[in-house]
Amino acid sequence: MKKKWKIEFNRFLEVNFLIYISKCLIGLIITYTIYVTFPQHQFFWSVISVLLAFSPDDKDAKKVAYDRMKANILGSSVGMVLFLIHFPNLLIMGLGVVATIAIATLLNIQSTTRSALAAVVIVLLYEQENASWHMALERMICVIIGCLIALLLTLLFDVTLFKDKRGRLIRKAKVVRKHYIKR
């Protein structure tokens, strides 16, 4: 039992796990600061979006960030267009689900369809209570801001850290010095 716990605890010390936590915390700090600085706007959606856009798996981190950003933009756009019809009910939500799945399939981002579907439903239900198209537009913009912050952080971590031949994560400057500068 003790050995199993030790093995599980070692997973918390892996570099990918620590990088994922770092990206989430930095993204949270940035978006929460924006949220507190501009309380009159819906930047709480940016906080949610930044955390949804990160992937704990280092494989394809950039692709996942791009795809989740596309999915959130897709979902909030479909939700906003359907909201303009002014019938946020089960029929419109069903139409939103079908349209979102179809467009996600055309864009080849099926793996992130759940994020897009959540965005559709949130925009339709949330805006039903507030009944204003500009709030739906603001929500979409805040989602995009959160996704862009997540994408920038993903690119930043990808530039500064990458794997060497043995699969170890190292800084780019160290590799350049080691492999390209003759001593």
Give the pair of three-digit tokens for residue 71: 């999915």
Domain ranges of the chain: 2-180
- In contact, 115 and 72? CB cutoff 8 Å: yes
Query: Does residue 182 register a pLDDT over 60?
Result: no
* pLDDT reported for residue 141: 86
Number of Cβ atoms within 10 Å of the Cβ of 170: 15
Q: What are the distances in angstroms from CA 29 to CA 2, 58, 65, 153, 173?
A: 36, 21, 18, 12, 27
Give one DSSP letter per residue of 112-163, joined into a string: GHHHHHHHHHHHHHHHHHH--HHHHHHHHHHHHHHHHHHHHHHHHHHHHEEE
92-129 pLDDT, tens digit each? 999 999 999 999 999 888 888 988 998 888 788 765 55
Mean pLDDT of 131-140: 74
Cα(167)–Cα(156) distance, rounded to whole angstroms?
Answer: 19
Give the pair of three-digit tokens for residue 6: 């030790």
* pLDDT reported for residue 144: 84
Q: Which helix (H) or strand (E) holds 171?
A: strand 169-171
Higher-confidence position of 4 and 107:
107
Q: For residue 111, give the DSSP letter.
A: G
Of 2-11, 75-84, 120-129, 146-155, the one with minimum mean pLDDT is: 2-11
* pLDDT reported for residue 59: 67
15-59 pLDDT, tens digit each? 778 888 999 999 999 999 999 999 998 899 899 888 888 877 766
Residue burial 13-34, b: 16+ Cβ < 10 Å; e: rest: eeeeeebbeebbebbeebbeeb
Cα(104)–Cα(34) distance, rounded to whole angstroms?
Answer: 30
Query: Does residue 179 register a pLDDT over 60?
Result: no
- Mean pLDDT of the residues in the chain: 78
